[in-house]
Structure 1
Amino acid sequence: MKKDTILAVGAHPDDVEIGMGGTLASHSQNGGHVYICNLTKGELSSNGTVEERQHEAEAAAAIMGVKKRFQLDFSDRSLKCDDSEYFHLITLIRELQPDVVFAPYYEDRHPDHGDCCHLVKEAVFDAGIRKFPGSDLKPHKTSSLYYYFINGFSVPDFFIDISHTQKTKEKALTSYQSQFIKRDGSVRTPLNDRYIESVRARDFLFGKEAGVLFAEGFKKGSPLVFSVVPKRSS
Structure 2
Amino acid sequence: MAHPDDAEILSGGTLALLAQQGWDVVIATMTPGQAGSTTLGPDEISTVRRQEAADAAALLGGNYRCVESEDVFILYDKPTLQNVIVLFRQVNPALVITASPTDYMLDHEITSQLAQTACMAATIPNIRIEGTAPIQQVPHLYYADAIQGKDRLGQSIAANILIDISSVMPLKEAMLCCHKSQRAWLQKISGVDEYVIMMKEFSAQNGARVGCEYAEGYRQHLGFSYPQDDLLKNELAEWTHERR
1:119 matched to 2:114? The reply is yes
Distance 1:176 1:151 in 2: 17
Instruction: Read off the aligned partner of 2:141 and give its amino acid letter.
Output: L
In structure 2, the CA distance between the partners of 1:225 and 1:24, relative to structure 1 (3 Å rule), is closer
Q: Specify the SS of the correspondent of 2:59.
A: helix
Q: 1:172 aligns with which of 149, 153, 175?
A: 175
Q: Is this contact kept in 2: 1:74–1:83, CA < 8 A?
A: no
In structure 2, the CA distance between the partners of 1:137 and 1:182, relative to structure 1 (3 Å rule), is closer
Distance 2:124 2:133 in 1: 11
CA displacement at 1:58 relative to structure 2: 1.3
| Cα displacement string for residues 57-108 of structure 1 (whole angstroms, at most 9, x for unaligned residues) | 1111112332x21111112222224253432321221232211111100221
TM-score relative to the length of structure 2: 0.80
Partner of 2:91: 96
Distance 1:105 1:132 in 2: 26
**Which structure is higher in helix share?**
2
CA displacement at 1:25 relative to structure 2: 1.2
What pairs up with 1:135-214 in 2 under 5 angstroms?
Answer: 135=130, 136-153=132-149, 154-181=157-184, 187-189=188-190, 192-214=192-214
* RMSD of aligned alpha carbons: 2.3
Q: Is this contact kept in 1: 2:102–2:146, CA < 8 A?
A: no
**Unmatched runs of 5 consecutive residues or more in structure 1:** 1-9
| Cα displacement string for residues 147-186 of structure 1 (whole angstroms, at most 9, x for unaligned residues) | 1125141211201111111111111111111112479xx6
Q: Specify the SS of the correspondent of 2:128.
A: coil
**Unmatched runs of 5 consecutive residues or more in structure 2:** 150-156, 240-244
TM-score relative to the length of structure 1: 0.83
Q: Is this contact kept in 1: 2:12–2:172, CA < 8 A?
A: yes
Instruction: Read off the aligned partner of 1:92 and give its amino acid letter.
Output: L
Instruction: Read off the aligned partner of 1:29 and give its amino acid letter.
Output: Q
Partner of 2:154: none
Distance 2:70 2:6 in 1: 16
Distance 2:185 2:100 in 1: 27
Distance 1:28 1:167 in 2: 15
